[in-house]
């Protein structure tokens, strides 16, 4: 009986434990079910967003770069859409080589571009943007879209590219664009507000660089959803996933209006037929640059979305160096155009009277040294006026000897030679005006008298840029005001609303004896308009009174020490009575300034003042 009760008790105990276990399991299941309901139903949207937000990225939307316009509102640089094929490692990790191989195969990538692509893949950081192909055409775009499923993570990026509707025109002052490098990005520093990133495009040279902040614009941002292949899906879904994100529309860059007259620029370039040289046309009243030419030129549009290897090598291997801005950085002996300075210094310092005559037999003797005049037969008796008009070297040898090199240097520097003019593009050169102290410091030897004679006629150590000569002549003909050359007139919104102006800046004022200045200007006028003047047959106009000075600068090959053909100079201004334009021209190895450079200046001046061959009487 006792055994039966014990067995019954044990059975009931087991049943109780089983029931307890069932209750516990049911409770746990109920808790789990409740949790699942809570997560999937009550908080389902939240966790769906968490899950799917991994497919959302914030895309930077590039702005439209502002236009560059000439003084009359004509477009000389603008933006167009450009399609790039890109990959960002941070999205999917390093791209597999087999994917890159597929891309190269289907997109018909060249051998050079393939090597470049693999190099980028090896060196790119996780946040770098690898650009596979830049500025693809419509056929390439269609081919990529058709095979995009083969290239997970590779996508299309639309960027504004630069268009230069006039081709090479103004290539040096306009400059070109390029991608910002990692080194350049690091130089900007963390506090820089420009917000540049790797892959962004900015100005490398010219006004595109100097005024990059004006025309660049501000990037916008937009959330997008992409699938496993990097393709964009419905954008409204991205906004649902990130409801608090505020889209930011890109802000277009402002337009920049230049002082350049594009029609005059085109005429100047077309008129310059020699391979190399420069032209500067400037308004002497305010320093506005009207035309700025450097030959040879390059095609800035080929740099817009990354220059090709072939074109870059073509430019680098060209002995004429097309990328070099000769108008601002070319250093040349000014030749006889420098007699403007020497003559002004001589009369101002009183070392010679205007009417005093110097006899020119065709040569000049100083000690054991004999200096030749360009006219081997000689000019005979020469006063100041005739010396300028006929460019007599012997006269200027004599006044140079009386002045000494330091006084010549003093007047040169008064008019801005040997210093930067202040034009804010392309890192202009300052040139060289020698002094006795300069030579002793540079070479450790004393100055000798024969060197002064060379300086007096713009040879020897003297080096100037074409824009410096334009500033010099402007200062003489406007009465002594040395203006900084300016190429930007104003910044404005796309609708023409004014943002800022770039006013005339006066660097300094040179005090001159007005009677002396008038004698100099009259002589410069007769260089062009008096029979016997060195530009009489080539620079004279029947409609407007042009003044100027020719120059022929001797050139020696530094390697062979053999003299090669002279550089041809001409500096001009018009109208003589109230100048509105100054032109400075150098034709490299062009020979005589009167024959090679003066006709170009005449054409530019007549065009600017509205005179054409058709309306002549």
Q: What is the pLDDT of residues 195-209, one digit of tens each?
A: 788 778 899 999 999
Q: What percent of the chain has pLDDT over 70?
A: 82
DSSP secondary structure letters along 239-269: HHHSTTPPPBPPBPPPEEEES--HHHHHHHH
| Predicted local confidence at residue 562, as pLDDT | 47
In this prediction, residue 161 has a pLDDT band, given cuts at 50, 70 and 90, of confident
Evaluate if residue 487 carries a pLDDT over 70. yes
Evaluate if residue 50 carries a pLDDT over 50. no
Mean pLDDT of 47-57: 54
Count CB-CB contacts under 10 A for residue 4.
Answer: 8
Task: Give the least confident one: 26-30, 382-386, 399-403, 413-417.
Answer: 26-30
Domain with CATH 3.90.1310.10 in the chain: 57-258
Task: Give the least confident one: 66-75, 300-309, 555-564.
Answer: 555-564
Whole-angstrom Cα distance, residue 416 to residue 286?
16
Specify the CATH number for 57-258; select among 3.30.1330.30, 3.90.1310.10, 3.20.19.10, 3.40.50.300. 3.90.1310.10
DSSP secondary structure letters along 330-379: --B--GGGGHHHHHHHHHHHTSS-TT--EEESSEEEETTEEEE-SSTT--
Helices (H) and strands (E) in the chain, counts: 25, 22
Greater model confidence, 170 or 132 = 170
Task: Give the least confident one: 119-133, 254-268, 294-308, 462-476.
Answer: 119-133
DSSP secondary structure letters along 472-506: HHHHHHTTSEEEPPB-EEEEE-TT--EEEE----E
Q: What is the pLDDT of residues 401-424, one digit of tens each?
A: 999 999 999 999 999 999 999 999
Mean pLDDT of 458-472: 98
- Cβ contact 260:290 at 8 Å: yes
Greater model confidence, 425 or 232 = 425
In this prediction, residue 615 has a pLDDT band, given cuts at 50, 70 and 90, of very low
**Mean pLDDT, the chain, as a whole number?**
87
Mean pLDDT of 473-486: 98
Domain with CATH 3.40.710.10 in the chain: 262-298+320-615
| Predicted local confidence at residue 529, as pLDDT | 98
pTM, 2 dp = 0.83
Q: What is the pLDDT of residues 583-601, one digit of tens each?
A: 999 999 999 999 999 999 9
| Predicted local confidence at residue 379, as pLDDT | 98
Sheet holding 581-587, edge to edge: 289-295, 277-282, 581-587, 563-574, 547-556
Q: Which residues pair with 372 in a beta bridge?
A: 363
Task: Give the least confident one: 119-128, 163-172, 265-274, 530-539.
Answer: 119-128
Specify the CATH number for 262-298+320-615; select among 3.10.580.10, 3.40.710.10, 3.40.50.2000, 3.30.1600.10. 3.40.710.10
């Amino acid at each position: 009986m006792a055994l039966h009760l014990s067995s019954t008790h044990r059975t009931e105990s087991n049943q109780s434990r089983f029931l307890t276990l069932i209750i516990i399991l049911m409770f746990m299941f109920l808790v789990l079910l409740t949790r699942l309901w809570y997560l999937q139903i009550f908080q389902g949207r939240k966790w769906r967003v968490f899950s799917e937000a991994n497919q959302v990225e914030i895309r930077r939307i590039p702005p439209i770069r502002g236009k560059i316009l000439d003084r009359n509102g004509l477009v000389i640089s603008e933006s167009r859409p450009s399609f790039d094929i890109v990959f960002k490692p941070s999205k999917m990790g390093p791209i597999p080589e087999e994917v890159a191989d597929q891309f190269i195969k289907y997109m018909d990538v060249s051998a050079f571009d393939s090597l470049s692509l693999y190099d980028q893949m090896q060196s790119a950081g996780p946040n770098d943007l690898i650009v596979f192909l830049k500025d693809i055409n419509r056929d390439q775009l269609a081919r990529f879209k058709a095979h995009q499923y083969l290239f997970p993570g590779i996508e299309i990026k639309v960027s504004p590219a630069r268009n230069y509707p006039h081709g090479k025109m103004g290539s040096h002052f306009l400059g070109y664009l390029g991608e910002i490098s990692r080194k350049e990005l690091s130089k900007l520093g963390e506090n820089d507000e420009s917000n540049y990133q790797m892959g962004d495009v900015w100005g490398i040279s010219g006004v595109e660089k100097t005024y990059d902040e004006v025309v660049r614009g501000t990037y916008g941002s937009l959330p997008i959803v992409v699938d496993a292949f990097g393709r964009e899906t419905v954008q409204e879904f991205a906004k649902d996933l990130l409801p608090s994100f505020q889209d930011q529309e890109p802000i277009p860059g402002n337009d920049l209006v230049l002082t350049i007259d594009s029609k005059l620029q085109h005429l100047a370039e077309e008129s310059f037929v020699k391979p190399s040289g420069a032209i500067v046309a400037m308004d002497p009243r305010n320093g506005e640059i009207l035309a700025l030419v450097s030959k040879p030129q390059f095609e800035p549009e080929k740099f817009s979305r990354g220059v090709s290897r072939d074109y870059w090598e073509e430019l680098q291997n060209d002995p004429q160096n097309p990328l070099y801005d000769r108008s601002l950085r070319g250093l040349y002996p000014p030749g006889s155009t420098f007699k403007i300075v020497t003559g002004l210094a001589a009369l101002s310092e009183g070392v010679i009277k205007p009417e005093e005559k110097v006899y020119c037999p065709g040569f000049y003797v100083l000690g054991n040294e004999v200096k030749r005049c360009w006219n081997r037969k000689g000019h005979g008796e020469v006063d100041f006026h005739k010396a300028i008009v006929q460019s007599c070297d012997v006269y200027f040898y004599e006044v140079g000897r009386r002045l000494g090199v330091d006084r010549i240097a003093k007047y040169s520097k008064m008019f801005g030679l040997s210093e930067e003019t202040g034009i804010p593009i392309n890192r202009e050169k300052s040139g060289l005006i020698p002094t006795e102290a300069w030579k002793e410091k540079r070479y450790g030897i004393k100055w000798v008298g024969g060197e002064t004679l060379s300086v007096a006629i713009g040879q020897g150590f003297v080096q100037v840029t074409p824009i410096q000569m334009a500033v010099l002549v402007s200062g003489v003909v406007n009465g002594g005001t040395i203006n900084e050359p300016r190429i930007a007139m104003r910044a404005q919104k796309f609708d023409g609303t004014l943002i800022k102006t770039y006013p005339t800046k006066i660097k300094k004022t040179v005090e001159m004896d007005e009677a002396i200045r008038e004698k100099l200007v009259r002589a410069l006028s007769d260089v062009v308009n008096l029979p016997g003047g060195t530009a009489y047959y080539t620079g004279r106009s029947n409609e407007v009174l042009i003044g100027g000075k020719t120059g022929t600068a001797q050139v020696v090959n530094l390697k062979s020490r053999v003299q090669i053909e002279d550089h041809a100079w001409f500096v001009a201004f018009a109208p003589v009575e109230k100048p509105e334009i100054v032109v400075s021209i150098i034709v490299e190895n062009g020979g005589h300034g009167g024959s090679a450079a003066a006709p170009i200046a005449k054409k530019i001046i007549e065009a600017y003042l509205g005179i054409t061959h058709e309306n002549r009487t």
